[in-house]
Amino acid sequence: MRNALVSSFDHDKERATSTPLSRHWRVWLPGALLLTGLVAVFTRVAWIQGRLSGEYLAALQVTTTDLEVLPAVDGRILADGVVLAADEPVQHVQMHYRWLQREPDEYWLTRQIRSRLSRSERRDESLVQAVEQEVRQQRQQMLATLARVCSTTEADLRARCDGVQERVERIISSVNRRHGIELTPLGTQLSQDQDDYPPEEIPWLFQLAGQVRKALTTPPRRQNAERIIIREEESWHTVLEDVDSRIATLIAEYPDQFPGVRIQQTSRRIYPHPNLAVHVVGARTAWRADDEAQQIPVDHPRGQGRFGLEKFYDSRISGQPGIRRVTRDRRQRVIAEEIVRQPRAGQDLHLTLDFQLQQHAEKILAEALGDLPRHLLAEGNGVAAPSPPQEQPEIIPVGGSVVVMDVRDGRLLSLASAPDFDLGLFTGGTEEQWKIVNSDTRRPFVSRFAAMAIPPGSTWKPFTALAALESGTLDPAAEFFCQGYLDRPDELRCLLFRRYGVGHGPISLRQAMTQSCNVYFFEAARTLGGNRLVDWGIRLGFGSHTGIDLPFERPGNLPGTRRLSEDDGRLRLQAIAGDANLADADLSGLAIGQSRLTVTPLQMARGLAAIANGGSLVTPHLVSAQSSSLPAPPASASPGRSGIAGINAATLQHLQQSLEAVVQSPNGTAHRGVFLPGVRIAGKTGTAETGPGKPDHAWFAGYFPADKPQYVVVVALENGGSGGNAAGPAAREIIRFLVQKEQTTTQLSLSAGKDRGILSP
């Protein structure tokens, strides 16, 4: 080639004939393609920065808020300053889930390493491995130290931790499955696409193209780090319950020795006297999700009263739990905590019960039922109690009740029911213990003072007399001749006639009450009429709830009435118009406390108190004035006293004299069993007939002192036999105890006054 100023290509024939545009297409076309690609790339970058970044950051900033309950202490129940129910502190050992896992979570382990190394130190692989080993050893050492401190084996503690981990992993699996996420162990590869030919038979160019295609089209593999994280993975779990306070203090004082461990303070209900006044105190157990709304409200107390005062005053005894708001990030790590409401302790209940008297009454009932050897009931009072005929076996009552109430204001000094049970059943009873109690045919869970509605027998006769006196159909001084039966010798008879074939002869109201003459009251009721007798039964509160501050009270049954309403929880009754609605047999039975009439011991105590206090109905109550800081109780439980319309003083005087003669007169039905020298007692025995083949119900209802009534005492023994032989001596020992206690208190007061120089020697 020779040198020339013009290239030989410029003289090429083909290039010489082409246009300038066609000559430069090879320059413009690649440039346009490059520019289009750059525009697409920058557009994508701008979209990512402007829109996708916000969505991505928003996803990272997603938080969840939960409300946690801070337990509160429930109020106490006290009688004479003695604690009958209270909460005691309990400590549980809890471990954070990340510290109790058998193999540490990789993400958590990485965070632990990063928190212990600086940015520059993290580049040293040997240092990272050393710190990782240190964390693993710390976990193992913590577990061993905790087991030693808590006096358990490391294997047992490890088993408890494994149990928690197994439960949490089941929850993790369930939650992720519901969201369509299949969990695979870390490092497990997803299935690869299978080619039609072995790799060695595929040309290298096609292999390269396949790898590029797979990199661009295959979605990223889902690892454990991408699954849904549940709250339990970043929460605390109880591994040891009810640890000693010494252990709790040790763990709290040395947090460096127990990383990932904390003490949870809570409480549990205890009953220091689990066999005393069990039907009154009641029980409080853990809230069950199926009780009401199938779930536990976050602000609801953790415990709930089941019966007794624990149930009736549940809203007052229950402490108000606190609420803590916990905020977690998308990995369920706690990022903020706030106390929304501080816990508030429940209010104490101070009872009207006399602690020593309650113990005494329950011991007497236990002796009467044969659960304890007879000591108190065998002492006697200087007057030999009648013994049953030798051919008759001793009668053991099925159950019994004692009520001691202040006649002036309804304050209950003793409220006992037998048989009873151990309140510890509700806080930690075993299956065997529950089986034994449930198999007791005497029904120990029935509170007989409020739920045992049985015929009252002759203890009802004072109310028949009251109705007849106030209606003007009975002259208390007039004598009635008792021939032993009313119309026919085979029906409507006196007990005296059934035993000895003779009647009481001419008797007045006082004599009829003293000797419990049935015929006298048959005639009084027939003259009175059923409607007026039922009307006075309503006025005296029979057939209705007494309003005691306890749940599950039964109203009993007053024949010849109909229910009107249940305002304020009380049963309102009205007499059915017309005596024809009460048959003659029912009227005669009602006159002496039989027929379809049933009353509870509480109703009997309330009715007799009205005779003793001058004609006022009182509301039996258990909460004393010391608990006046409590909100006002419901109307059905408001302590109060209301006069009974239509009662005059002369009627009450006749009844009071007659009832005193029942005990004080030597021929009174209650004299042998109840009389106490130096104590004026008024009352009435009752022997109520039951079904065929069953012993009678034994009753005594009385008050003392007879000249200035203070306390009413009612003893009812279910299937206990004779009222004078069985219930009377029990009432006598209760009255004896009260009198002796008051005398002792008076002597102590006088002695204290002398010591202070108030009284002269």
Q: 537 vs 468, 469, 583, 620, 642, CA distance in Å?
A: 12, 14, 17, 18, 16
- Token readout for 395 is 């009668």
Residue whose tokens read 């045919």: 441
Q: Is residue 538 part of a domain?
A: yes
pLDDT in tens, 454-500: 999 999 999 999 999 999 999 999 999 999 999 899 889 998 899 99
Chain position carrying tokens 């006054």: 753
Question: What is the rounded CA–CA span in Å between residue 90 and residue 77?
Answer: 19
Instruction: Report whether pLDDT(271) > 70.
Output: yes
pLDDT for the residue numbered 632 = 44
Tokens matching residue 702: 């009385």
What is the model's pLDDT at position 4?
53
Separation CA 377–CA 727 (nearest Å): 10
380 and 315, same structural domain? no
Give the pLDDT confidence score for residue 29 in this predicted structure: 77
Band of the pLDDT at 760, cuts 50, 70, 90?
very low
Neighbours of 151 (CB within 10 A): 9
Q: Quick one: which of 675, 686, 672 has its CA closest to 722?
A: 686
Mean pLDDT of all residues belonging to the chain:
83
Dihedral angle sign, alpha carbons of residues 39, 40, 46, 51: positive
Higher-confidence position of 389 and 591: 591
DSSP string, 329-393: -TT--EEEEEEEE--BPPPPEEE---HHHHHHHHHHHHHHTTSS--STTTS--SSPPPPPPTTSP
Question: Domain check: are 326 and 376 in the same one?
Answer: no
Residue 60 lies in a domain: no
Report pLDDT digits (tens) over 176-219: 888 877 765 433 333 334 444 445 555 665 566 666 555 555 55
% of the chain surpassing 90 pLDDT? 54
Last residue of a domain, one of 349, 377, 410: 349
Report the C-alpha gap between 452 and 455 in whole angstroms: 10
Residue 471 near residue 528, CB atoms below 8 Å:
yes
How does strand 236-243 pair with strand 261-270? unpaired
- 240 with 172, same domain: the answer is yes
Which of 317, 349, 381 finishes a domain? 349
Task: Give percent of the chain with pLDDT exceeding 70.
Answer: 78
Residue type present at position 78: L
Three-state SS for 431-468 is: HHHHHHHHCCCCCCCCCHHHHCCECCHHHHHHHHHHHH
Residue-wise burial string across 281-294, b where 16 or more C-beta atoms lie within 10 A, e elsewhere: bbbbeeeeeeeeee
**Residue 531's domain spans which residues?**
355-628+638-748
pLDDT category at 385 given cuts 50, 70, 90 is very low
The average pLDDT across 638-658 equals: 87
Evaluate whether residue 57 is within a structural domain.
no
Q: Is the domain of 268 the same as that of 318?
A: yes
CATH number of the domain that 345 lies in?
A: 3.90.1310.10
Shared domain for 499 and 582, answered yes or no, is yes
pLDDT computed for residue 326 by the predictor: 80
Distance CA 71, CA 320 (A): 8
Same domain, yes or no, for 620 and 697?
yes
Name the token pair of 524.
């009084």
Please report the DSSP string for 28-82 in residue order: HHHHHHHHHHHHHHHHHHHHIIIIIHHHHHHHHT--EEEEEEE--PPPPEEETTE
Q: Specify if 273 maps to a domain.
A: yes
pLDDT value, residue 638: 44
The answer to the question of residue 66 being in a domain is no
- On whether residue 754 sits in a domain, the answer given is no
pLDDT for the residue 391: 46
> Residue 122's pLDDT is what?
86
**Assigned token pair, 475:** 């002259």
Span 661-679, average pLDDT: 95
Task: Over range 717-733, report the average pLDDT.
Answer: 95
Reading phi first (left if > 0) and then psi (alpha if -120 to 50, else beta), residue 693 is in: left
- Read off the amino acid at residue 734: I
Give the separation between CA 683 and CA 675, rounded to whole angstroms. Answer: 10
- Residue 622 contacts residue 415 (beta carbons within 8 Å): yes
| Average pLDDT over every residue of 561-568 | 64
* Domain edge (last residue) among 349, 374, 399: 349
Contact (Cβ atoms closer than 8 angstroms) between residue 621 and residue 476: no
Residues 512 and 600 in one domain: yes
Specify whether 219 is located in the same domain as 283.
yes
Residue 118 near residue 258 (C-beta atoms within 8 A): no
Kindly indicate the confidence band of residue 743, based on its pLDDT and cuts at 50, 70 and 90: confident
Nearest-angstrom CA–CA distance, 452 and 714? 13
CATH of the domain at 471: 3.40.710.10
Greater confidence (641 vs 269) lies with 269
- Residue 16 placed within a domain: no
Check whether 633 has a pLDDT greater than 60.
no
Looking at the structure, tell me whether residues 689 and 648 fall in a common domain: yes
Q: What is the pLDDT of residue 44?
A: 72
Pair 148, 297 in one domain = yes
How many residues does the structure list for the chain? Answer: 761
Q: What is the mean pLDDT of residues 699-714?
A: 97
Do 310 and 370 lie in one domain? The reply is: no
Identify which of 562, 283, 240 has the alpha carbon closest to the alpha carbon of residue 434.
283
User: By the 8 A CB rule, do 333 and 340 touch?
Assistant: no
On whether both 550 and 688 belong to a single domain, the answer is yes
- Determine the average pLDDT of the residues in 226-232: 82
pLDDT band at 753 (very low <50, low <70, confident <90, very high): low
Find the range with the poorest average confidence among 54-68, 342-356, 377-391, 598-612: 377-391
pLDDT tens for 708-720 read 999 999 999 999 9
Q: Identity (one letter) of the amino acid at 81?
A: G
**pLDDT at residue 295 tops 90:** no
Mean pLDDT confidence for 529-549: 93
Number of independent structural domains in the chain: 2
In a domain, residue 64? The reply is: no
